[in-house]
A = this chain, B = another copy of it.
Amino acid sequence: MTSEYSLKACVICPNRHYGFCLTLLQTLDNELEKHFIKKLQLPAGDFAFRQGDSFHGFFILKSGWMLLSRLTEEGKRQVLRPILPGKIFGLQPDQQAPTFYSAQAIQDTDVCNISWTIQLCTTHPDLAMRLIWASACDKLVTEMYLTQICQRSARERVAFMVLELFRNLKLRGLSKDNIMPFPLKQEDIADMLGLTTIHVNRTLHALKSDGLFSIHQRELTILDYEGLCNLVGSIDKYMAYDYPMKS
C-alpha cells in the first residue's frame, strides 16, 4: 500500500462528475484536500482495512473493484457487496469501534481516504447531506440483495447480480455494449448470494446453456438481456439506485 498527497487530484478524477465526488469537488479547497484526502494504491488481493480494524473517516474507490466481506467464527465468508468506482465504503456508525467487515481489492485499485469528522459536518453541510444520501443508498442495495436472497432461486439470484452489476457499470461508462468486466470468482458469487461454490458453478453453467450470457477471460457478455430481466422481474426503478447520481 503506497500513499501520497496530491493536490487537486480530484479535478482530473473520472468520478468527479458524480455523487459524493461531485459535491466534494464543488466545495474543494486546498485546506480540505491537503488535510483530509489521502490517496492510496492497492494491488489486487490487498485490504484497505480488515474486519476488526478501526480508523477514522471512510474511503472512496477511485478505480478497480473491491469486495466488502465478513468472516464468521466458523470461518465462513459473507460478501456484503461489491464496490464499484465512485462508491463510498468503510463508513461506520461508531468510528472508534472495530469494523464489521473487511474491504479487499480484487483488482489493482486506487482508493481515496477521507478523514471525516463532525467538524466537517459544520464546515461542509452539503458534504454531510451527501453522506447521508450515500449511506441510505448502500442500505437500499443491501436490502435489495436481502430480498433477492430470501425469495429467489439460485438462477434468479445470479441473474439479478449480473444485471445489477451490469447496470451500475454501464452508468459509470465501464461497460461497452453488452460486455462488462467480471473479475468475480465463483467463490465470491457464492459468498455473496448465500450459495455454495459448487451450486454457483452449476447455476452459471445452466444460465450459459440457456444462452443468457457467456463468460470468458474475466469478461461477461450479455446475450439475452430480456431473458435476464424476465428471470429477475422488473425492479428497474431501484436497480441503479446504488449509483452516486448527479446533483
Contacts and interface: CB of A to CB of B under 8 A. Distances in A.
Nearest to A121: B125
Given A93-B137, A136-B91, A150 B147 contact: no
Q: Oligomeric state, in number of copies?
A: 2
Nearest to A145: B146
Does more than half of chain A's interface fall in helix, strand or loop, or is it mixed?
helix
Interface string A66-90: 0000101110101010000000000
A100 B143 CA distance: 9
Contacts of A143: 70, 80, 100-101, 142
Interface string A127-161: 01101111111111011111101110000000000
Contact of A135 (B126, B135, B150): B135
A149 B118 contact: no
Interface of A: 70, 72-74, 76, 78, 80, 91-94, 97-98, 100-101, 118, 121-122, 125-126, 128-129, 131-140, 142-147, 149-151, 193-194, 233-234, 237-238, 241, 245
Given A93-B241, A94-B241, 12 more contacts: A70-B147, A78-B146, A78-B151, A92-B136, A97-B241, A100-B140, A100-B238, A101-B143, A121-B126, A142-B143, A145-B146, A149-B194
